[in-house]
Amino acid sequence: MSDNKNKSKNDEQALIDGRRRFLGKSALIGLATAGVSMGMAGCKEKEGAAKPAAGATGVAAASGQEIAPGQLDTYYSFTSSGHGGEMRVVGLPSGRTLKRIPIFNTDCMVGWGITNESRAIIGTKPDGTLKYTVGDTHHVHGSYKNGTYDSRWLFVNDKINSRLARVRMDTMECDKITQLPNVMGFHGMFPDKCDPVDASINYTTRVFCGGEFHMPLPNDGRDLDDPSKWGVLFSCVDAATMELKWQCRIDGNCDLVATTYDGKYAASNQYNTENAADLNGMMAAERDACVFFDIARIEALVKAGKFTTIGASKVPVVDGRKAANPDPKTSITCYVPVAKNPHGVNASPDGKYFVCSGKLSPTCTVIDLSLIPKWFNGELKDPRDTVVAEPEVGLGPLHTAFDGRGNAYTSLFLDSQCVKWNVEAAIAQFKGDKKAQVILAKIDVHYQPGHNYSSMGETKECDGKYLNSGNKFSKDRFLPVGPLHPETEQLLDISGDQPRLVADHTAYSEPHDGIIVRRDVVKTRQIYNLEDFPNAVTADNAGIERKGNVVHVRLMSQAPAYSLPVIKLKKGDLVTFTLTNHDKVEDLTHGFAIPTYNINFIVNPQETKSVTFKADHAGAFWIYCTHFCHALHLEMRSRLLIEG
Ligand code: CUA
Ligand code: CA
C-alpha cells in the first residue's frame, strides 16, 4: 500500500516537475528569440494539467495556521489589487481578508464614488460625474520614521491614470489622490525614509513615483509619429500635502522604485534604456540600468530656478538625462548598468545594498550603496563600479525580499520557485571566491510568482519570520470557476534554514505587491470624531432647509431610526442629504439607501457623509438602512415623498 502511495506521489511529482521544466525552458527560448510574453508561457502550462498540485502544499496548508476564536493574527498585510483598483488588508498568518479599501474604484457598500466626500477625493468632471471610475493599483508602501513604519499613512499607485493615493492608517480609508502631470504608466513608487539634508527630519516627507511609458511631452497631439521625441518623468510628491514637488526627465524609463535609508537617493530600475517603442527594441541592449537620483542636488536646482515646465503643468521639471549631466560632480542622476530588462529593485534592511532582479537574465545585480556617493563625487570612473555582485539565482527573477540575517529571497517567475541566497556570499563569489555558497535553498511555489515580500522586510525592523509569495497562476489548484482562475498567495515561514510553506489562500485577481506589518505597529481608531466633520448634523441644525429648488436635508442616525420619519421633496429639486451617525459604539455602522436613485453608502459611528442628486422622478421611496445595526434594522427606514 505504501509502495502504491509512493508511486502515485512520484508520478504526481514527475508531472509537476515536467510542467515546471517545460514552462521554464520554452518560455525562456520564446523570450530570447521571438519575444513571446511570459504571460503566454504561463497559460501554456494549463495543457495536460489535470491532477491537483503538489501534495506538500495541501498538507502544509491543512496542518496549519488556524487562528482560533480568541486569537488574532500577528501581522497585517496591506496589498494592492491590480486592476480591481482597491487596496486590501489581510491578516497573517491566516490569510484572512480583513478589509477592502476602495480607492480608484467605486464601492456601493461603503459608498465610495457615491458620497460627496469620496467624489471630491476621486475627482469629478465639470458636469459632476466622476473623472475616472477605474484604477490599477500595483504597490503599497507605508510611511516611515526612524527606518520603520510610523502608522501614519499607506501609499498606493494607479498605473492607468498616473495617480498616487494616500490611505490613513488609523481609519484605513483613502484621504487624498493626486494625479501626476505628463506621466503615463505610473508604476514604481516608494516613500522616502528621511530628509537628504536635514537629519532632524527622520520620517517620510516625499513619495517618489516612476513613469514607465514614454509619451509626448506634453501629450497634446504633437509628435505622434515620432516616438524618438517622447520622454519619461520621475516625480516627487510631498507626502503631507500630496502636491507635486518636482519632476525629473530621464533617459530610458522607470520600473520599480526604491529609496535609501539615509534619504539621499531614490532609484528606479529601467528595462527600456533603449528608449524603444516596440518589444524587440526594448530587449535590444545587453544591459539596462538602475538610475539613481541625488535628491539634494535636484532640489537645489529647483530652488535655484534651474528648471522648465511642460505644457499646462506648473510643476518644475529638471533634466536628468545623460547629455545634460556630463560631470558626476554636478550630475543629478547616475545610471548603473544592470542585467537585461530588470524588474524589481529592493533595499536590504541593513541599508547597504539595492538588489535589482534580472527578469531576462537569470541573475540579480547587487549595488553597494556606499559606492553611489563616491561616483557622484567623481571618485569612481564607471557607474558599473558600484556593482559588487551578480549571482545566478534561477530563471525569471522578478523581486527580492530579505530576512534581516543577510539572506535574500528572490521570486523566480519562470522556475515557479522562491530562491534563498546569501548576499555577502554573492559578493565574495563576485570577488573570485569559488567556494562561496550563494544559493541556500529553493522552494516550489504554485505558480509563477511575481512579488514577494517579507515581514517588516522593507524596514530596519525586518524580522525574518514570514515571506509572502504572490503567485500569478493557480492553474489546477482550486475548483474551477470558469475561464478565469483565482490567483494564490502562499506564506512561507523563513525563520529556519529551509523556507517552509505554512499557509496559502486564493486571491481575487489580481494582487501585485504588499507589505507585512507587525500588528503592534498599526494603531487604528475605534470611532470617528464628530468634530472632524465641519458638516456634522446635530440636534441644533437637523431638519429640512429649502432655498428655491435647492434643498438640504440634515439627518441623524441612531439605531434603529433616522431623525426624520418623513421627508417631502418636489420633482426637480436639487437635494443634498447630510447624515451624521450619532451612535458611539464601535462597529455600530448604519447604511443609507434610496431605491431607484442609485444611492447607497454607510456612516460609521460619529461619522458624517453627504450625497447630492437631482430628484428627477416622483414617487414614494423608502430610505432604508443597509448595514445590519440592530434587532430592528429592517424597521430602520424613512419615507421620502417626491411630489410630481
Ligand atoms: Cu441602522 Cu441597520
Ligand atoms: Ca532593455
Whose C-alpha lies nearest to ligand 1, atom 1?
A: 590
CA of 289 to the centre of ligand 2 (A): 9
Q: Is 636 in the pocket of ligand 1 (CB under 6 A)?
A: yes
Q: Is 629 in the pocket of ligand 1 (CB under 6 A)?
A: yes
CA of 561 to the centre of ligand 1 (A): 8
CA distance 412 to 397: 4
Sheet containing strand 637-643, edge to edge, reads 566-570, 637-643, 619-624, 590-594, 599-603
CA distance 531 to 522: 23
CA of 337 to the centre of ligand 2 (A): 11
Q: Is 635 in the pocket of ligand 1 (CB under 6 A)?
A: no
Ligand 1 atom at minimal distance to the Cα of residue 589 = 1
Q: Is 582 in the pocket of ligand 1 (CB under 6 A)?
A: no
Q: Which ligand places an atom closest to the C-alpha of 557? A: 1
Ligand 1 atom at minimal distance to the Cα of residue 634 = 2
pLDDT number for residue 238:
98
Q: Is-contact 287 215, C-beta < 8 A?
A: no
Q: Is 264 in the pocket of ligand 1 (CB under 6 A)?
A: no
pLDDT number for residue 49:
38
550-558 and 574-581 strand pairing: parallel
Task: Compute the Cα dihedral for 322, 328, 334, 335 and give only its sign.
Answer: positive
Q: Which ligand places an atom closest to the C-alpha of 341? A: 2
Q: Which three cell numbers stand for residue 207?
A: 513619495
Q: Which three cell numbers stand for residue 270?
A: 529601467
CA-based nearest residue to 644, from 577, 568, 576: 568
Q: What is the mean pLDDT of each run of 10 residues along the chain (644 residues)?
A: 43 48 43 38 38 40 67 97 96 95 97 98 96 97 98 98 98 98 98 97 98 98 97 98 98 98 98 96 96 98 98 98 98 97 97 96 97 98 97 97 98 96 98 97 95 98 98 92 94 97 92 96 96 97 98 98 98 98 97 98 98 98 97 96 97
CA of 580 to the centre of ligand 1 (A): 13
Q: Is 590 in the pocket of ligand 1 (CB under 6 A)?
A: yes
Counted residue by residue, the chain has a size of 644
Beta strands in 239-310 (DSSP E): 244-250, 257-259, 265-270, 287-294
CA of 642 to the centre of ligand 1 (A): 23
CA distance 257 to 48: 39
Q: Is 627 in the pocket of ligand 1 (CB under 6 A)?
A: yes
CA of 298 to the centre of ligand 2 (A): 26
CA of 634 to the centre of ligand 1 (A): 7
CA of 635 to the centre of ligand 1 (A): 8
pLDDT number for residue 148:
98
Q: Which ligand places an atom closest to the C-alpha of 630? A: 1
Separation of CA 600 from chain center? 27
Q: Which ligand places an atom closest to the C-alpha of 269? A: 2
CA of 620 to the centre of ligand 1 (A): 20
- The rounded radius of gyration (Å) of the Cα atoms in the chain is 27
Q: Is 163 in the pocket of ligand 1 (CB under 6 A)?
A: no
Does 510 sit behind a cis peptide bond, omega within 30 degrees of 0 on the bond before it?
yes
Q: Is-contact 517 541, C-beta < 8 A?
A: no
DSSP state of 203: B
Separation of CA 517 from chain center? 14
Q: Is 633 in the pocket of ligand 1 (CB under 6 A)?
A: yes
pLDDT number for residue 64:
52
Ligand 1 atom at minimal distance to the Cα of residue 627 = 2
